[in-house]
Each structure stands twice: as C-alpha cells, then as structure tokens.
Structure 1
Amino acid sequence: MSVLSSAPFSAAEIASEGIQPEEYEEIVRRLGRHPNKAELGMFGVMWSEHCCYKNSRPLLKQFPTEGARVLVGPGENAGVVDLGDGLQLAFKIESHNHPSAVEPFQGAATGVGGILRDIFTMGARPIALLNSLRFGTLDDARTRRIVNGVVAGISHYGNCVGVPTVGGEVYFDRAYSGNPLVNVMALGLMETTEIVKSGAKGLGNPVLYVGSTTGRDGMGGASFASAELSDESMDDRPAVQVGDPFLEKSLIEACLEAFKTGAVVAAQDMGAAGITCSTSEMAAKGGVGIELDLDLIPVRETGMVPYEYLLSESQERMLFVAEKGREQELIDIFEKWGLHAVVAGKVIEESIVRILFQGEIAAEIPATALADNTPIYHRELLSEPPEYAQKAWAWTVESLPDATSQGILGHSWNEVLGKVLKSPTIASKQWVYRQYDHQVQNNTVLLPGGADAAVVRVRPLADSTSSSVTPNPAALTKGVAATVDCNPRYVYLHPYEGAKAAVAEAARNLSCVGADPIAITDNLNFGSPEKPIGYWQLAEACRGLSEACREFETPVTGGNVSLYNETLDSQGNPEPIYPTPVVGMVGFIPNLDRIAGQSWKQNGDVIYLLGSDALTLGGSEYLAIVHQTIAGKPPIVDFDLERKVQAVVRSGIRSGLIQSAHDCAEGGIAIALAESCFGNQLGATIDLAATDARLDQVLFGEGGARILVSVQADSVAEWEVVLQKEVGDHWRKLGTVGGDSLKISIAQNLVIDARISELFAEWSSAIENGLDPNE
C-alpha cells in the first residue's frame, strides 16, 4: 500500500515549507509526481540553507581541508585531527541563533546538546566547550532577557552533562538586537580504536533508533533557522527544541560503550531535520538506501502523523546501522543506561529513503535528492564594494577632534581608558563564565579570563577503565588549546581583511599560551545571501578565511553556516547583523609545564611589545565607544610578520623566557596593558616612544601581529638576542612590572596614571551593572 500520490500544493503551502516555486518544480520532476505532505516537509528541511548550504556551498569549496594532522575533514559530524602518541581530537562549532532569539534558555541549552552529540557520535568523549556569543546593547530590556536566558541555558546543559565550558567570547552591539548569535564549539578525545563514520553500509543490516523518545518539539527547526526573524517569530516557539542534559549524559556513555563493541557500522546524530536528516544523510553517504518504520519509533505523544515524526527535532536521539545479528547486544547496552533502543528499519539496495507508517509507504524519496544533489545557487557578486563600505573607507582621523596630552572631548586619558574598559565588549566576562562549571573532569589547566586561549589536558585513554587502548607515556604532559574569535566590526567594514584578521587573531591567541595552531572549524553567521550586499559580505569573507587558513596552515575540518540573521529596525525594515565568521581554532601543546597566561607574574619583570607599529583607529573599539563612529579600514594582516611574532612567542614560552603573553587587539596597547595588570593586581610603568601619530592612536589604535610579553630581569639579555634574530627590529622594550598603578608615558610625558584597583573595579563590574534593570 502507498500514500505517495498527491494533488499539487498551493503556492502558500509550498512557501510555508520554505520552498521556492522553482524548487517545487524540481521536486516534482525528480519524483515524477507531486509529493505528499510528509515528503514536502522532508524536502523543506533538507533543502533549507541550514541543511544543504545552497547559497554558500560554492564558496566553501575554496577552503583548504587537508593537512598532515587532519584525519577527518568536512562532511562528517565533526573534524578529527591527530595529536600524536595515539591521541586524536574531534572538534566542531555549531550555531543555535534563531532558537535562542525566541526561547533563549532552551535555544542555547539545546545548542550545547547538539554540538556534544556531533562529537561523541564520532567515538570521542567530550572534554571541553567554548561559546561565541553576540548580543544587542544592555540598555535594551529584551537584550538583557536574552543574555540572562542564553547564559543560563549554556550553564544548565554544560554543567549537568558534566563537560566544562572553558572559554569563549562575548560581544555587544546594536547590530545584534533581537537576533543574538549563539555559537558553541566542542572538543572531544577519541575513545574508540576506529573513528565512527556516518555512511550506512551492509545490505540487510538493521537500523536502530536509540536515545530519547520522539515528540512534537522542534518541529521544522531547520526551516525556522533558515528564515529571517520577524515579529511573528515568537509564534515559532514550537520550532525550539527542549533538551535533557542528564539523559544526554547517559547517551554519551551508552554510545561510547556501544561503539567499543565493534557492532556499530555507522552512526548519525538526529540534529536538524531529525529522522529525515539522519536517514537521508546516512543513505546518501553510503550509496545505499534506508527503510524505516515509524510505527516502531518510541514516542511521547499520541496521534502523531508521518509529517510530525519526520520533522521533529526532539533532542538526545541517534540512528545507528548495526551488524546484522548483533542488534540485541546493542539494545542491552542502551537499556542498561535507561535509554530506548529499537530496530526500526534496515539498509536496502535501492538508494532511497522509504518511510513506512501503519502498513503503508508514507514517503519514498531518492536519498541523494534529499542529502547530496540539492539546489545550489551561484549568485552574482557585486562588481565593486557597496556604497556603505566605500563611504566607511573614505573616513580619516582628521575628522576627529584634537587629542592633546590632557585628553580629548574634555576627558582625561585616565577617564577615556576607564570608559573603554567599561565597554561590555571589552569588560570582564566573569559574570558569564562564573556561571559555568569550567573545572569538571579536572583537566582545565588555564581558567577562563586568565589567558588568550583555553588550555585543557588530554589524558591518555588508559585513564579510562573502559578503554582497551594502551597509552604512550609521552602523552601525559600534552594539552590542547582552543579559542573562538572574530571582530565583527572589522568584517562589516572590510569582509576580506576582517575575515583574515579573525584567523590571524585566533592563531595569535593560541601562540600566546604556547600552542601550535593546527586546524579550524568555522561558523559563518551572515544576513540574507539573496541581497547583493549580504552575498558580497559572505563571498569576500570566505575568500579571506581561505587565504588566511592557507597562510597559517590551519585547514578547515568542518563548521556551520547560519544565514538570514536579520531583524527589523525601528522603522520595521529588515536589517542584517554584522557579518560574523567565527573562527574556532585548536592548537597543540607538547608540554603543559611550559605555557603562559596573560597576567604579569612578579615585580621587576620587563615588558616588551612585539610586532607591528602600523596602527589604525579605523574600526576600533575606541572609535566606536568614545566617538560613536563605525568607519575606516580595519588593520591589514601581515602574514609574514604574524608568523615570525607568533613563532618567537611560542619558543619563548617553551624555553621558559616568557613569563606572560597577551594579544594586543581590541582597545589597543592601553587596554592590553590594563588587562595584563588585573590578574595579579600588579601595576606597570610604561614609556611609549615618540611618534608623529595622534595620542589616541598610540594608546588605543589597533593593529595585527602585536603581542605584549613580560620576561624576568635576569633574562633580558638572552631574550633580546632571540628577538633580534627572529623578528629583527619588530620589538620594543616598554617598561617594567611593579607598583599599584598603570603609568603610561609617551616620550617621557605622563599621559595615564591610574590605580589598578580603580580600573579593575570598573572593568570587572560593567556587565553585571549593565544587566541590573535598576541601573
């Protein structure tokens, strides 16, 4: 019996599934008939931008994806890199932007759950989480609600599931009002001898549904994530999933135990598009078909129809292909952990996804039509930069008021420094990370806020009693570093240079803790690609990312694309977010005894600035905060100098010469110096060289390839020999650590003299004060 025949759908019905008229015509052509309701929904989610990248896939092809350490690149649930000595790291980043806009707590929580499943589906035990968050400004009540909900959701899921949140970044800008960005990155250490892939194989092999039950929550989440937010988006709350971190913890243990039996042929997380996505992707990747009977799926609601089963995004569910005859072995494992595990289908020869329901064929679609041979749009690129960019580039510092040794706009430089430090984007993120358990598993080496990148110990697998892998003793001192980075203002002003800068800063962050950059995962958050400016921003940013990854030899192992991130302005017109290509980068640390944080260590240490003297106020935090201006060109990346500066910092840390290292990025040298003082409440006396540049440009100008380091006084001679050899004249001695104030002179003219305790008080409480509705 079959219910495949269907009458044509109306234009409104087609549009409600996010399908374009020409796409519907292509569906009819491929099927040789009109789809039924369930099939239309399947195409709607699988042909959404969120699942098939129909606007971005041509641009992603330029990314470098291979490298000496890369074991698994794009196309699987997560990338995997080789750390040596039998250690393999899985990692990936994903977004949950639109769900977090309408239901901040559950949207963020299930974002954490989803990225964790991507990791342990590969056979890796999750060891760390990072997040990259973007919000509107804190003077808006809705933004405050979103911030509180998102942070609480991340905290709830991560803390309960027992995976530490060890790092991240948080930006605040009106460009994200109503459309926050919630990007979550996860790392895992391989715990199985073989990496688990997702391609189904073995005709007749059983298909197992494992994990939680299926309900109506998360209906159409993939389509929801591929549409612009509007005033009506609050009505889409059912498209936001509800997670259970305690159940996911059991799912982690059950899956890893099941994988170690060797009875699992393939595995796929039921994430976006749920059963539809998992069946079609497993079938397409394996070049086979899957037949699944919905009557065998465990449910938690009555009266569900095929459309609801197939589009549900209920959490904590997986699909396995098992070796025939070993089904019960796997079922027993999942039942031991209190989870569902049922044989719900089988692998078939014909490359189709066949869905059965109540004894009839409820849907039958070629697997590749859903998961491989999907629509692709090659959009026309603007012949020249858009008007907004050209206008921004025409800006010059001459348009600013004079900057004297006493200050600017009636404010002293002490006051200006305090004002920039209080900017929520610059200010301490302790209000955020103190809600996260960042030490669970006891492998966190550097705590959040203490360094430019997170550092996590990678324990050999013999530490796990369930593992049969023999560790190499050399692995005992190894670690991984991870960071997420992107200055969205740079990318808005100049997508190509801004994207390059994101990769460069991520690599710089890793180098500042002593790690060798290995590979990246990226999360491309942009507005609508159907608009010329939106597509130009996306294309130029991808070009910049590709070039920078090649220069730093950090291949892309996977990632996520999140488009249509737009909200309505005060006049009700759609307005895109700043283009935000977040770079999640991992690095390798050969010896955890030789790493560095960002804070001065002791009085008398000598402070150096390594790198470029090329500074700009274009796109700077100072320009935005003090002058309320978004204009200019961001810093231009000097790849050769970046490599030299980063290499000498890594070698200096490993040789024991460098005591602290801190990237000089947003806010310029004045902010980097202040941040280096805060950790141990140690002041510094600094003398910046005479220059023809404006005082504010010297203090707050931004540029690439700039790292602030400190060394012990008795190491100065040795260190300067190294510097001269490795970076030539691209370094400068700035001063010494000591006292309780930050004193900055320019050509021996004191311009900043501020007590560390007072600066710290402003910096550390800014976000908490901003979230207080009584402020």
Structure 2
Amino acid sequence: MADTVENAFQTPDVEQPYAALGVKDDEYLRIKEILGRRPTSAELAMYSVMWSEHCSYKSSKVHLKKFGELSQDTPRGPLLAGIGENAGVVDIGQGYAVTFKAESHNHPSYVEPYQGAATGVGGIVRDILAMGARPIGVMDSLRFGPLDEPDTHRVLPGVVAGVGGYGNCLGLPNVGGEVQFDPSYLGNPLVNALCVGVLRHEDLHLARATGVGNQVILFGAATGGDGIGGASILASETFDETGPAKRPSVQVGDPFMEKLLIECTLELFQAGIVNGIQDFGAAGISCATSELASAGDGGMFVNLDLVPLRDPNLAPEEILMSESQERMMAVVEPANVARFMEICAKWDVLATVVGEVTDGDRLIISWHGETIVDVDPKTVAHEGPVYDRPYHRPGWIDALNADRAEDLPRDNSAYAVRAMLLRVLAHPNVADKTWVTQQYDRYVRGNSVLAQPEDAGMLRIDESTGLGIALALDANSRFSYLNPYLGAQLSLAEAYRNVAVTGAEPVAITDCLNFGSPEDPEVMWQFSEAILGLVDACRELGIPVTGGNVSLYNQTASTPILPTPTVGVMGVIDDVATRLRSGFTHPGDAVLLLGETREELSGSIWEAVAHDGHLGGTPPQVVLGAEKALADVLGEAARRGLLSSAHDVSEGGLGVALAESAFRNGLGFAVTLPGDDPTVALFSESAARAVVSLSGAYLAELEALCAQHGVPVARIGEVTGGGELEFVGAFTVDLDEARRAWEAPLPAALG
C-alpha cells in the first residue's frame, strides 16, 4: 500500500531511507520544513532525483549565474531563448532559428557503454525537439583512458557503437566532435553529446503548463524499470576504486521509437495543438511534471494509475523515478485532445491523458485513489539546495606552473625533429579518428556540407539561399589543468577558430563542464576559474552562452579527471557554397601561416611525446582580439573566394596542421619553417593561428586583408603535386610514411 500524504501527517517519526537516495541530512530537514511534515515515500523519491547534483546544479548554480551577466545578443541578433530553457535558440536570419545544446552521459557510459552513450544521444535530441525544432545533426566529444588500457578497449567500442547506433537509426548525421585520451579518464570516461535543430521563429515552443483544465498527456514509450535513478543519481556520485559506488539500471534506448516520437511531435506542433511540452530526461516523470507545473500559471494533477507501464509491478516511487527513454509530456486544450490522439495513433505512438492543469499552485499526484504527492512544484524543480562550496587555489599549482616544458631539453637536429613529427602525428590525441567516425553516418539527410575530419561540421539550412550553420565542439584538458581560467578560454578559442576556418561567423556557444567532486575545494576552484574564463572570453568576443550542462563527481576515489570544459560554438554562413575545406587542393598554391607563433610548448602534444607524458608550465597566451581578427579575415576571404583551403593550428602545432592539410587530398608541400628553432616552429601550440592555401593571383589581396585587420601573415611555402612533406633546408618525410604513422594507432589498438 502506498505511503499517502494523510499517513505522512499521522506518522511523523517514521524512519525514511533518504541517505540511500543521496539526500543529505540537512536536505531532508529542509524538505520536512517545506512540507510542514515528513515527505511521503513518493515525495522523497521526487525530491531525491530533482535535488540531485545532476538535476539541480546545487553546487554550480552560484557560479553559473555569472553567465547571466553576459549580453543575450548574438552578432546576428537577440537570443530567442536562452539559459533556463531546454536549449538555447538563436536567430540566424531569413526567419530561421537554430537551437543547440550539449549534455553529458558520463557515468552511465562507464557502467554500460553502449546504452549509456546511446541514451545520451537520445536525451539531447529530445531537448532539441522540445523547443519545437527538427533535429538535424549531432556531434560528440569523447574522452577515455589510455589507448593501450584493457578497460579502454571495453568502454570505447561500446560508446562509439552506442553513439553511432542511436544516431544512425534516427537518420541524424554526426558531423563533428573529438576523441581524446588521458590516464585521468580511465574509470571515468566522458561522453558529451550535442544536438542541433532548426525551426521557424513562429514554431518556438517552451516548457509551460498553462490554462486551467488543459489536459496533461504522456506520449511515447511505456514506463519501465530501466534507469530508475539512473543519470540523476549515478551522475551525482563519485566512483570508488572498483567502479560506481551505486549501479542503478542504466536507461535502455529504442531509436526507432524515438524516430516515431520525433515525427509525431513535429506534426503535433504543426497542427498547433500543443500549449506546453517537456521531454523526459533525468528524473523522468518527477522532472516533467514539476518543471511544467512550476513554469506555468497554475498547478497540476496527475493520476499515476493512468501511466502506461511495461512492468505492472512498479511501485509509485519507481514510476516517478524511472528514466525510461523516448517519452514526452504535453499540455493540450480539451478540445484538441482527440486530434492529438489521432496524430499519435497515426505514428503508432502510445498517448495517454494522465492529468490536468489545475487552479492554484500545487502538484498533486494520486495512486490507487489516494494522494501520494502534494507539493509546491517550484520547491521540487527550482528551489532546491544551493551550495556555495568552499574553494581555494591548489598549493601544488605553483610548482606545476614552474615546471615549464619550455625549459625541457629539445633536440633540434634534422633527424630528431623528423622523428618527432612522426611521433606527434601518432599520438592518440592527434592520430586519425576514422576508426571512430566511419561508424557514424555523416551525410544522411543530404544537407551535410562539411563533416569529420574537417575542422567543423557544416549543415545547409535553406536549399534556395544556401544559408547554413557550422558547429565545433572542443576542449583542451591539459591546458585547463595547468590554468583552468586560460584553459577554458583556449577551449572556447579553438572551437571558435574551427568554425571560423570554414568561413562561417561564430555567433553563440553552449558548454558541457566536466569536473571532479564539488566537495573538493581544489576542484571547485578549477570550476570557478573555468566559468570566469568563459564569461570574460564571451564578453570580449561578443557572443552569448545559450545554455549548457554541468557534470560533477567525475573522479575515481580521490583522483579527479583533468578539468574538461567542453565548448560548442555555432556559426552562421550566408551561403554554404563559399565554405572552406581544410585540405590542400591545387598544386602550386601558396601556403601561408596566419597569426603569431611564440615559444609555447607547455601543455602541448610535443611535451607529452618528447618527455614521457610530462605536463607542466603555463598554457599559451590567450589573445581574443587576435582570434576575432583572424575569424574576420577568414570570413571575408571565404566570401571573396580568395582561399583554396584553411585549417586551424591547434594540437600538435604547425607540423600537424600542415600534415593534415596534405593528407586530405594526397598533395604534399614544400615549406620553410619560420624562426630559428624548428621545435618551436613545428610544435608550439600558440593560439589564433591558421594555415591557408591560395592561388598566387589572390596573394596580394589576402595580405592586404590581413593588414587591414592586424593579422600577422607569412608565406611559408607552396603546395606541390608530389608525395613529400618537405621542410626546406631541414628534412623531408614521405607523405605515405607520415600518413601511416597518423592512421595506425586506433586500428592497431582496437582491431
């Protein structure tokens, strides 16, 4: 028999297992204070999942507020929806808007790699769908332990298969992302998924339960026992040495059901019969009901007896906590319910009226004719605990910053530098990721203009005008460990630059902030510094944060991951026909380096390769004005048709950028390294740089454009028709030899 509200009043001293649900002593007391009594077991279940770290952001709210200080205008106009909604919505012109967001599914993907990653994709797709948009593409940022570790061989293939399997079945192109490796992710991989969708301005929908008497409809899959407390609790705990301290069932995805749900929901929107909508993510019905009701103009009544179940033996608490996938909740006027059901039936989507919007401000849920939940939904969804956790700068960071890579020995002999280039190309963080990306459909739907291995993904939005968007998703955790403020800015700068080298104008960002335990003051310092870095960078670049995700407790026992602020940047291009590719295309083209190279080796791939994983010093300088100037040059050069190719310089430095440009179309080059130190010239990871190629006929025009914007430019060589990477006066590498070094690591390790 269910624990009712009446029973809760009559039995105030009943012991409840709140600690087992992740509720702290002071939080339990706060719940009792809010209710004026002890919670029922169903209410305790709701509060436990909604007040979890994953759902409530209780340790990060005080820092995330700083994003609200930023202007909500993009270079293309004001945001149509921002932080606080399911996803941010950006006006891109011609009546179109784009919504995009990234989220984490880290801990579930360690427990069950395939389903953890698959349902991460499914969840972010539904966030985009709930805004009224058609999902049109996905990306992912993945991080694993060392490539040669057995557990990496367990986790990585499953995660990649899950991302590809779910996205491919949905018919969504996976157009970009990254895969990185570091010992800190062994036992705690990161799976960050991004989805982008398109809508007309008038199609924007928000999560609101409005209109007394309007019906609350649950549609999509039936509710099962999978994922009870899954992401909400699992992602709010630290793993112990042997794995998760708690292993609730990871959600199980059904992409074919999700595809039907997408098409059904879009037709419901088109019919104009949806007053409010919310997807089911972490916390399941607890989340959907409390968020809809708290954002509306009334209360809500829900009868749990009406919820379709895959398992008839589920207790009401389990129904409220289940994170079964492929479910949505809509608020519909009574006159439109029949039409709503008709559309759902057409798509073979189960739909059930489970409640209605009520007068007042209470969320009331019944079970077997008795009230088991009677709460103010705002206290569940938005008024949870807020922790201003202590934080302080680590004492060890001064010694770390003093241990500079620039002071380490380097062998600048031609033989050694040649060998080092091959070793850097073979580093897992640089090496070819085709083993991963070949499992993703990059071109389904026919609007993929650029996709992996290009610097950014690009999607056509309008066939008649060529309007399109570009997306990049990047993080540099090595830089962020050395200096989280600068590391976050460098992560943003790289994603910004990756969008710019396609010829698109960067206009907005989303983020997915992955850190260790918030109960560690040093981790909270890293988190706070990263937020400050992003806020200051966005302010200077003139782009807003549209929303994002925080993932904490990413550590194994007392060892946190490297701080990993993943940043997604979205750009707009007026005509995708002007887009730039990263590969050299024409023998005889001049090769130019845009931007300034400094002696900046700390945090670099060279440092890790040359000195057995060494990590020390301070990251490269961040000159955001230089990043913006470079983006302006690249955008204008693309519009004028000056460039044959453009490729950003980032991990691995100029040597990697040149080699990758050569690999795309099998065209070698002959370049003269700038400066008198070949290690710095080849492997420095100074920011705000790009390698471009172009016909000599356009050289003077490009140089004038660079001078106009204050961007340093140097002609360093030319594209050749041969199969050699020639560094004039230094050494030569056969193109095929370099390609083999670059292509071999992942297939050799993973089979």
**TM-score interval, smaller chain:** over 0.9
Q: Which residue type is aligned with residue 744 of structure 2?
A: S
**Contact kept in structure 1, 2:177 and 2:472, CA below 8 Å:** yes
CA distance in 2, matches of 1:70, 1:612: 34
**For 1:205-261, what per-residue CA distance to the aligned partner results, in whole angstroms no more than 9, with x for missing partners?**
110011110011000120111111225655855431000000100000111111112
RMSD over equivalenced CA pairs, Å: 1.6
- For the pair 1:297 / 2:307, whether they are aligned, the reply is yes
**Contact kept in structure 2, 1:479 and 1:590, CA below 8 Å:** yes
Q: 1:338 to 1:192 in 2, by over 3 A?
A: farther
Deviation at 1:65, TM superposition (A): 5.6
SS at match of 1:514: coil
1:740 corresponds to which residue?
Answer: 723
Deviation at 1:144, TM superposition (A): 1.0
**Contact kept in structure 1, 2:140 and 2:176, CA below 8 Å:** yes
**Contact kept in structure 2, 1:69 and 1:83, CA below 8 Å:** no
2:684 corresponds to which residue?
Answer: 701
- For the pair 1:601 / 2:585, whether they are aligned, the reply is yes
CA distance in 2, matches of 1:696, 1:218: 51
Deviation at 1:120, TM superposition (A): 1.0
Matches within 5 A, 1:7-46: 7-8=12-13, 10=15, 13-46=17-50
**Contact kept in structure 2, 1:3 and 1:360, CA below 8 Å:** no
Deviation at 1:499, TM superposition (A): 0.6
Q: How many corresponding residue pairs?
A: 738
Q: 2:128 aligns with which of 119, 136, 143?
A: 119
CA distance in 1, matches of 2:13, 2:435: 54
Q: 1:679 aligns with which of 664, 688, 705?
A: 664
Q: 2:450 aligns with which of 446, 449, 452?
A: 446
- For the pair 1:487 / 2:476, whether they are aligned, the reply is yes
**Contact kept in structure 2, 1:65 and 1:557, CA below 8 Å:** no
**Contact kept in structure 2, 1:273 and 1:313, CA below 8 Å:** yes
**Contact kept in structure 1, 2:101 and 2:124, CA below 8 Å:** yes
Deviation at 1:698, TM superposition (A): 2.2
- For the pair 1:659 / 2:644, whether they are aligned, the reply is yes
1:766 corresponds to which residue?
Answer: 745
1:645 corresponds to which residue?
Answer: 630
Q: 1:234 to 1:539 in 2, by over 3 A?
A: closer
Q: Which residue type is aligned with residue 623 of structure 1?
A: E
CA distance in 2, matches of 1:26, 1:57: 18
Q: 1:335 aligns with which of 342, 345, 357?
A: 345
**Contact kept in structure 2, 1:484 and 1:583, CA below 8 Å:** yes
Q: 1:138 to 1:398 in 2, by over 3 A?
A: closer
Q: 2:735 aligns with which of 724, 742, 756?
A: 756
Matches within 5 A, 1:334-483: 334-382=344-392, 385-397=393-405, 399-407=407-415, 412-449=416-453, 451-459=454-462, 473=464, 476-483=465-472
CA distance in 2, matches of 1:23, 1:65: 34
Q: 1:402 to 1:326 in 2, by over 3 A?
A: closer
Matches within 5 A, 1:108-147: 108-147=117-156
CA distance in 2, matches of 1:436, 1:389: 40
549-558 or 489-498, which deviates more:
549-558
Matches within 5 A, 1:18-97: 18-63=22-67, 64=70, 66-67=72-73, 68-97=77-106
- For the pair 1:207 / 2:221, whether they are aligned, the reply is no
SS at match of 2:83: coil
CA distance in 1, matches of 2:397, 2:474: 22
CA distance in 2, matches of 1:523, 1:404: 39
CA distance in 1, matches of 2:64, 2:182: 27
Deviation at 1:324, TM superposition (A): 2.2
Q: 1:191 to 1:157 in 2, by over 3 A?
A: farther
Q: Which residue type is aligned with residue 620 of structure 2?
A: P
**Contact kept in structure 2, 1:599 and 1:676, CA below 8 Å:** yes
- For the pair 1:586 / 2:570, whether they are aligned, the reply is yes
Deviation at 1:690, TM superposition (A): 3.3
**For 1:477-510, what per-residue CA distance to the aligned partner results, in whole angstroms no more than 9, with x for missing partners?**
1111001011111111100001111111111111
CA distance in 1, matches of 2:323, 2:273: 26
43-52 or 184-193, which deviates more:
184-193
**For 1:313-350, what per-residue CA distance to the aligned partner results, in whole angstroms no more than 9, with x for missing partners?**
00001111101221111011111111111110011122
Q: 1:742 to 1:8 in 2, by over 3 A?
A: farther
**Contact kept in structure 2, 1:101 and 1:107, CA below 8 Å:** yes
**For 1:405-426, what per-residue CA distance to the aligned partner results, in whole angstroms no more than 9, with x for missing partners?**
245xxxx222211111111110
Deviation at 1:183, TM superposition (A): 0.5
**Contact kept in structure 1, 2:406 and 2:601, CA below 8 Å:** no
Deviation at 1:732, TM superposition (A): 0.9
2:707 corresponds to which residue?
Answer: 724
CA distance in 2, matches of 1:432, 1:336: 37
Deviation at 1:54, TM superposition (A): 0.6
Q: 1:266 to 1:637 in 2, by over 3 A?
A: same
CA distance in 2, matches of 1:193, 1:505: 33
CA distance in 1, matches of 2:243, 2:210: 40
CA distance in 2, matches of 1:153, 1:608: 40
**Contact kept in structure 1, 2:674 and 2:681, CA below 8 Å:** no
Deviation at 1:9, TM superposition (A): 5.9
Mind listing any 5+ residue stretches in structure 2 that lack a counterpart?
A: none
Q: Which residue type is aligned with residue 506 of structure 2?
A: P
SS at match of 1:142: helix
557-566 or 393-402, which deviates more:
393-402
Deviation at 1:378, TM superposition (A): 1.2
Mind listing any 5+ residue stretches in structure 1 that lack a counterpart?
A: 461-472, 569-573
- For the pair 1:282 / 2:292, whether they are aligned, the reply is yes
Q: 1:3 to 1:615 in 2, by over 3 A?
A: farther
Q: Which residue type is aligned with residue 452 of structure 2?
A: P
Q: 1:291 to 1:334 in 2, by over 3 A?
A: same
Deviation at 1:720, TM superposition (A): 2.0
Runs of 4+ in 1 over 6 A off after TM superposition: none
Deviation at 1:654, TM superposition (A): 1.4
Q: 1:519 to 1:158 in 2, by over 3 A?
A: same
Q: 1:614 to 1:9 in 2, by over 3 A?
A: farther
Deviation at 1:399, TM superposition (A): 4.2
1:468 corresponds to which residue?
Answer: none
**For 1:663-722, what per-residue CA distance to the aligned partner results, in whole angstroms no more than 9, with x for missing partners?**
11111111111111100111111112333xx43222211111111111112222222222
CA distance in 2, matches of 1:406, 1:456: 43
Q: 1:402 to 1:582 in 2, by over 3 A?
A: closer
**Contact kept in structure 2, 1:218 and 1:314, CA below 8 Å:** yes
Deviation at 1:403, TM superposition (A): 2.0
**For 1:287-317, what per-residue CA distance to the aligned partner results, in whole angstroms no more than 9, with x for missing partners?**
4211110100111112211101000000001
**Contact kept in structure 2, 1:73 and 1:80, CA below 8 Å:** yes
Q: 2:621 aligns with which of 627, 636, 655?
A: 636
Deviation at 1:189, TM superposition (A): 0.9
CA distance in 1, matches of 2:184, 2:95: 45
Matches within 5 A, 1:133-212: 133-190=142-199, 193-212=202-221
SS at match of 2:672: strand
